[in-house]
Amino acid sequence: SSPVTIVVTSEADTWDTDASSCPGQFVDWDRMPDPQQPAQIPRDILSKPRKELKKLAREGCWATNHALRARLYHQLIQQVSCRLVTPDALVYRDVASRLFGKPSGSSHPLPEFLEGCPMPTYCLNLEGVTALKKILICVGNLFPDITYSPILPSLVALLLHYSEDEAQCFESISRLLASNAPHTSYIDQSFLAHQASCMTFGDLANKHCPAAHKLIASTSENVFEVYSEWLSWLFHDLPFAYAIRVLDVFLLEGQKVLYRIALALLKQFRLSGSSAELEGADIKADLQAFMQNIAEHVTVNKLLERAFGIRLFSRKEIWLLQMANRKALMERGITMVQSRQSFHLAVDMQNFSSSIVTAQEMRLVWSWIPERFSLFPPLLLFSTSQDGCSLQRFYTCCEGYEPTVLLIKTTEGEVCGAFLSSDWSERKKSRATSAFFGTGECFVFTVRPEAEKYEWVFIKQPELAKAVPRSHQRSPSPSPDSRLGSCPGGRSSSSSRLTVPTPQRKGRLSPFLAVRHFLLPSKTASMFMSGSREGIVIGGGGGQALSLDANLLWGHTEHCETFDNPPLCQEDFKVQLLEVWGFQS
C-alpha cells in the first residue's frame, strides 16, 4: 500500500492526555446525523447487570447521549477477557512517539494486512482520519500475527468517535483483538478466519433466508463471493447512524449479533423492490447500494427488532460450524498466512453430467448444501443405471464418503432427494437393526416439478431444542418404534427399535448440529437416516420422508416430524433412476 504521511506539529498537540479532554475531538459534528428522540436513560445505567444492558442497547437507550455511549464503550471493553500481555494506552504512547514523535512530516506505510481493505471514515474530521491511520500503523507494529482483517479499520474509526484520545482508542481495539473468551471472537485476524466466518454466514443465510439465498443462487455464478461481503455490509456500507447501533450491540453480545443483523438485512433486501429485477444484474453492487440507502427501506430500530427476532442456535453451536468451515478451508490448502483467494461454485457447468438432473439444477442443489462441502466438486459414487438395483452395492459404493447427496427420479418424471450428513457405515455401529444416525444438517428436497428444501424442524424453531449444559451427561438416544414403509412390489420389514449411535470417537471435533448437543422435546424429531438389509429410510417420526426397498425399485414418501415435509412426490412411487453423489477432496 502507498505510504501514509503523518504530520505532527508538536508532542504537546499530539499527546494531550488532559483528564478534562472529552470524546468528540476527532468528530466533524456537521456530518454527524441528527439525534433520535431522547430515550429515558436510567440514572444507574453504568451499574446495570449485563442482561439489562443488552436490552437497553437493543432499544437504542444511549443513541442520543454521546458522553454516555463513550463511558459505556470504555466500561464494556475493559470487561472483555483478554490475554495477560495485551498492549495498552501506555504502550501505544511509547510506540507512537517513536514512530511519529518528531515535529515534522514523516511517511509510514499502512500494514500489509490492510491492502485492499475499505477504510470508512464516517464522521471523522481531518485530525480523526490521521489518528485512524496512526492507530492502524501501531496495531501492525504490535500485532505482527495479523495477516488479514478487513473489519479492523471500520471498528477503529467508529471507536474514535467516542474516545478521549488515540491511546484510549488503541487500548480498546487492542483488547478486542486479544480477547480469549471461549467460543468468542470479536475480530477475524487471518484470511482463514475471515473466510470461515463468510462461509458460516452463507450457511446461516441458506437456513434462515431461503428466499434471498435462492435469489442470489439464481442470479450469481459465485454465491460464496456474494456472501464474502457480509461484514462490509455492516461496517462499510451502512451509514453511521446504523453502523454505530450495530457496534452498541456487538460490544455486548459478540459476533453472533453480527450474523443476526446481516441476516435481517438480507431478508429486507429480498422484501424490497430493489431485488425484484435482478436478471443479469450485478447482485453484489445491488446489495451494496441497498445497504448504503438502507434508511429508505427500514429504520434502525425496526432493523434491530427484526434481527433479534431471528432464532439462531447457541454461540457454541455456531463456533462448531466455524471450526468445521476452517477445517475444510485448510484441506483446500488455505493457511493462517494465506493471502486472499477467491472460490468459485464447485459445479462445473460444462463437464457435469447426470442422468437425473441438469447442471443448472445441480447448481441449485449445491447452493443448498453447507458451504464447507460446496468447496469441492461432485463425484458420482453410485448409479442404478451403471451399478444395478442392489442395496448391498449401494452401501459398498457409498461407505467411506461423508456427506452424500441422494437423487431419485420416479417413473412419473418427478425428482427428489436428500442431503445426508453422515457416512452410511454408521449404520453398523448400533446394535439395533434399523438405527437412525446423522446430524441436523441433513435435509430432504424436491427438484421437479418445484424446487424446495425441507430442513431439520429445529432449524426454524431452535428455541424448542435447548442446548445441553456442559455439566449435563449426554441425554438418552431416542428409540421410537418404526418400520420401512410398505411399498408396492416390496415387502414390509419387521418393527425394530430406532436409536442414535454413540458419540464420535475422542479427539474428533464434535459435529455441527449433533443430536447430543440438544435436549429435544420429542424423541421422534431427530430421525435423520437409517439403513438395514431391508432398505433405507430418511426422516422419521409420524411417517418417513423417504423410504426405499432392498431392490431400490419401490419407494414411499410422506410427512415426517424430523423435516416437517409434505410428500416429496407421489406417495408410492417406482424408481426410474437413483444416483448418489459424494465430494471430491
Does 508 or 82 have the greater pLDDT score? 82
Question: What is d(CA 455, CA 513) in angstroms, rounded to the nearest whole number?
Answer: 12
Is residue 286 over pLDDT 70?
yes
| Residues 45, 160 within the same domain | yes
Is the pLDDT at 497 greater than 70? The verdict is: no
Cis peptide upstream of residue 449 (ω within 30 degrees of 0): yes
pLDDT at 457: 83
- List b or e across 405-438, with b for residues whose CB sees 16 or more CB atoms inside 10 angstroms: bbbbbbeeebbbbbbbbbbbebbeebebbbbbbb
Instruction: Identify whether 513 is part of a domain.
Output: no
The CATH number for 272's domain is 1.10.472.80
Query: For residues 161 and 154, what is the distance between their CA atoms, to the nearest angstrom?
Result: 11
Structural domain includes residue 481: no
* Reduced 3-state DSSP string for 138-153: HHHHHCCCCCCCCCHH
| Inside any domain, residue 387 | yes
Cell (9 digits) for 553? 425399485
* Cα dihedral sign, 491-492-497-498: positive
Within a domain: 9:
no
- Residue span of the structural domain in which 245 resides: 191-332
Pair 210, 79 in one domain: no
Closest by Cα among 155, 184, 226, 157 to 80: 184
Cα separation, 584 vs 366, in Å, equals 13
Domain boundary among 178, 205, 229: 178
Whether residue 66 lies inside any domain: the answer is yes
- 116 and 172, same structural domain? yes
**Stretch 104-122: mean pLDDT, rounded?**
81
110 is a domain residue: yes
**Residue 513: is it exposed, middle or buried by C-beta count within 10 angstroms (0-12/13-18/19+)?**
buried
Total count of domains within the chain: 3
Average pLDDT, the chain: 81
**203 vs 319: CA distance, rounded Å:** 13
Could you tell me which residue, 77 or 503, shows the higher pLDDT?
Answer: 77
Shared-domain flag, residues 128 and 220: no
Indicate if 162 and 205 belong to the same structural domain.
Answer: no
- Measured N-to-C along each axis, helices 152-160 and 166-177 cross at an angle, to the nearest 10 degrees, of 140
How does residue 106 score in pLDDT terms, banded at 50, 70 and 90? low
Higher pLDDT, 573 or 430: 573
Q: Are residues 210 and 130 in the same domain?
A: no
The length of the chain, given as a count of residues:
585
Together in a domain, 33 and 121: yes
154 shares its domain with 246: no
Mean pLDDT for the stretch of residues 360-367:
87
Same domain for 218 and 171, yes or no, is no
Contact between 263 and 205 (Cβ < 8 Å): yes
Q: pLDDT tens across 256-265, in order?
A: 999 999 999 9
- Select from 308, 299, 302 the least CA-distant residue to 263: 308
Alpha-carbon span 13 to 36, nearest angstrom = 34
Where a domain ends, among 316, 332, 348?
Answer: 332
Mark which of 153, 178, 203 sits at the end of a domain: 178
Q: Are residues 174 and 195 in the same domain?
A: no
**Do 296 and 399 fall within a single domain?**
no
Residue 345 lies in a domain: no
pLDDT above 80: residue 398:
yes
Judgement on whether residues 440 and 554 belong to the same structural domain of the protein: yes
Answer whether residue 4 is part of any domain: no
